[in-house]
Amino acid sequence: MKKMKAVSRTIWVAIVVIIIIIAGVAVYWWYTMPPAEEEVERKISIAWTEGPEFDYIEDRISEFETEYDIEVEFLRIPRAHIIERLMLEILAPTGKIDGTVLYILEAPTLAGTGGLVNLYDYKAKSEWIADTFYEGQLEILEFDGELYFLPTLWNGALLTYYRSDLFADTALKAAFNATYGYELEPPDTPDKLLDVAEFFHDQGYIGIHLQLTTAEMGAGAYTIYPGLAHHFGGGIYDDATGEITCNSTESVEALEYLIELAQYAQEDVLTDGTFEAELAVMQWTDLAMADQWSYMIPMLPDAAAEWSISVRPFPQGPDMLGIAILNTSPKKDLVWEFVKWTSSFDIVKGTTLVTPKAAGRADVATDPEVASQPWVDVLLDSYGRVHPIAPIVKDPRAVEIYEMMMLRLGQALTGAKTAKEALDALYEDIDAILQY
């Protein structure tokens, strides 16, 4: 009996010890294990803007929401001030913006803050190329080897719009040949562009409509001069070497060429931008050519004269718009699903067709429905396939540099300074900007 009591006592002691051990483990787990992650609301907020491509995305957003079980809220932030709002979100996060529309001109500043997610962390560059995204377009958008957005919403190209009836006129063709010694055709080099503009000017027409406003960043002279400088062998500022190239012999030559070409343009050339170019093409009957964006190709049948398009005779910089993910968002993976969807073949095809633009994917460009459009090859040739896309300034201070470029171009175009004087002044401006 005593033996049984001893065994019973031992069992109870063992039970108590086990209970104490379990309690100890529970306490240890309670204090050392990380808290359970709260379930993230499957809703993302994207800073958004307006336009046919954005309407197209909105019209199809229910498909994305159903397939991925992610609700999308589009935030209407005024386009002119979106960069300020994004900077505020990056510096003092509110959690109210998860992703954003991003324009190429805004990218250097935002990239410099470290506030954007590298898309290559989600999908390697080789995989994007395998999906037939153009390698050259990707590299234009890379900052120190990182990619923050894709040109899926806008990838606009500038083209030469020309009066097809004038270029086919036998009397004008004979007169041009007699003067310049070659056939009158849509110009494919800057020298020929100058000849043709001069010829039509001398015939009583406005030789070419140029957008040379220096008051509108991202338009006007910004869309013409850097590409010309690149074509002539010059530039603005080389991020890779740190060399300021804006007043090189080649850059000065490019600006002198532009000043000469402007002689044959419309009277208000120094104030005109995109909208004025659209009105000129649609309404004027005394205009021979125009340097204008691809978006208005569908409008041409309603123009007052007969117009066609041809490859721009010199390079242009990138005009790209896509979706970026903010590093401050707790929903980065959800925004990535949206980025992935908007860069899919189906969506890129849709945004390419809704407004004529350079295709961002080769498989979209060769799709039968897209390839049948008469503007596809003209756009691609103008935008990387024949003429290279001119590099942009990728330094975080790019907007400051471009602002000073516009100021100095304005001085040269109005005659306040010579081309050399204006670009020498720009050199000093850029050098000062880079000091801080």
pLDDT band with cut points at 50, 70 and 90 for residue 8: low
Both 313 and 299 in a single domain? yes
> What CATH number corresponds to the domain at position 329?
3.40.190.10
Q: Does residue 209 have a pLDDT over 50?
A: yes
Q: Do 237 and 351 share a structural domain? A: no
Residue 4 has pLDDT above 50, yes or no: no
Taking 80 as the threshold, does the pLDDT of residue 35 lie above it?
no
Residue 251 has pLDDT above 80, yes or no: yes
Residue 36 falls within a domain, yes or no? no
Residues 106, 107, 111: CA angle, nearest 5 degrees: 130
Nearest to 138 by CA among 389, 374, 400, 367: 389
Band (pLDDT 50/70/90 cuts) for residue 29 is: very low
Residue 23 covered by a domain: no
Asked whether 207 and 265 are in contact (CB, 8 A), the reply is: yes
302/324 same-domain check: no
Task: Label residue 9 by pLDDT band (50, 70, 90).
Answer: low
189 and 63 part of one domain? no
Residues 142 and 173 reside in one and the same domain? no
Q: Would you say residue 21 lies in a domain?
A: no
233: left (phi over 0), alpha (psi -120 to 50) or beta: left
So what's the pLDDT on residue 379? 95
Do 239 and 296 lie in one domain? The reply is: yes
Average pLDDT in the chain = 92
- Establish if 304 belongs to a structural domain: yes
- Residues 220 and 288 both lie in one domain: yes
Q: What is the pLDDT of residue 39?
A: 61
Residue with the larger pLDDT of the pair 129 and 26? 129
Report the percent of the chain where pLDDT is more than 70: 91
145 & 219 share domain: no
Q: What does the alpha-carbon distance between residue 104 and residue 153 come to, in Å, rounded to a whole number?
A: 12
Same domain, 291 and 370: no
DSSP sequence for 271-289: T--HHHHHHHHHH-SSB-E
Do 209 and 238 belong together in one domain?
yes
Task: Name residue 11's amino acid.
Answer: I
Q: Are residues 200 and 296 in the same domain?
A: yes
Which amino acid belongs to residue 171?
Answer: A
Q: Residue 356, Cα to own-chain centre: how many angstroms?
A: 15
pLDDT digit string, tens, across residues 407-420: 999 999 999 999 99
In a domain, 16, yes or no: no
When pLDDT is cut at 50, 70 and 90, the band that residue 139 belongs to is: very high
Domains of the chain: total? 2
Judge whether residue 7 has pLDDT over 90: no
214 and 254 housed in the same domain: yes
- Residue 266 is part of which domain span? 158-317+394-433
Report the pLDDT value the prediction gives residue 82, as an integer from 0 to 100.
87
* Domain endpoint, select from 385, 407, 424: 385
Mean pLDDT of 296-305: 97
Task: Say yes or no to pLDDT of 16 above 50.
Answer: no
Q: Is residue 31 part of a domain?
A: no
Choose one of 346, 367, 385: the last residue of a domain: 385
Mean pLDDT of 74-90: 88
- Does some domain include residue 28? no
What tens digit of pLDDT does each residue of 145-197 get?
Answer: 999 999 999 998 999 999 999 999 999 999 999 999 999 999 999 999 999 99
| Cα 325 to Cα 13, 65, 148, 210, 336, distances in angstroms | 60, 18, 7, 36, 7
pLDDT at position 10 is 57
Residue 130 lies in a domain: yes
Q: Which pLDDT belongs to residue 294?
A: 95
